Amino acid sequence: MSRRIIFESSAANQKPNIEQIISVITKPIIGEICHQVIFSYGDELRLDFGEMSAYTHPKLAHLCKGSWQFGARATPWVFKQGDRILTSSLPVDIDAEIDEVEIDAVKKVLQQLENKELIDFVIDAHNISLTLVFEGDYQLILQPDFQDDSGLPYWELFMPTEQVLTVGPRFFWECKSIHER
């Protein structure tokens, strides 16, 4: 099943129902354990949930992935425990070299999510912010920047059903088969 829907709300009282729709799509990931926190392609954050397995491509066979893969792309984020900010995404400077030491330090803090259960997955229709709530009062909060004109999705969720939920840019979202182009 493929859904390609764009929500644009022009009137303040006409709120899109994206919270409920995303809630239904993501309900099966609630209760899954985050097994791996990594950065791919520089500073793009990825969390692997569910059953872990090796990649099928021979060159990647030494790496593992979760049956659920969450990726934050082109989206600033904050990692909190309770009211305390533990770390946040690094500022993007396309002209600068990626500081591997700084990324490693941020990754080390984020690894506190490993082996933690995902308790809630909440999207806010007003600004498309997303909060992943984990046991231990941990929260990963994505705060999309509507001024970003990269055209990249804010985040993606690859599911064991071979579907991908893509949100962003702006109020765009779709859920489709990974086999569709």
| Exposed/middle/buried for residue 96 (C-beta within 10 Å: 0-12, 13-18, 19+) | exposed
Residue 142, φ and ψ in degrees, nearest 5: -95, 130
For residues 32 and 29, what is the distance between their CA atoms, to the nearest angstrom? 5
User: How much is the pLDDT for 154?
Assistant: 93
- CA Rg value for the chain: 16
- For the segment 98-115, what is each residue's pLDDT rounded down to a tens digit? 677 887 888 899 999 999
Residue 30 has pLDDT above 90, yes or no: yes
Comparing 145 with 74, the larger pLDDT belongs to: 145
Which contacts of 18-23 are long-range, i.e. CB under 8 A and separated by 24 or more positions? 18/123, 18/125, 18/128, 18/171, 18/173, 19/122, 19/123, 19/124, 19/125, 22/121, 22/123, 22/165, 22/167, 22/173, 23/121, 23/122, 23/123
Question: Mean pLDDT highest for which of 42-51, 85-94, 131-140, 148-157?
Answer: 131-140
Q: pLDDT: is 28 or 152 the higher one? A: 28
Chain-centroid distance, C-alpha 138: 15
pTM summary value: 0.84
Say yes or no to pLDDT of 8 above 80.
Answer: no
Q: How far apart are CA 134 and CA 29, in angstroms?
A: 12
The larger pLDDT score, comparing residue 128 to residue 118, is at: 118
Can you give the pLDDT at residue 12?
45
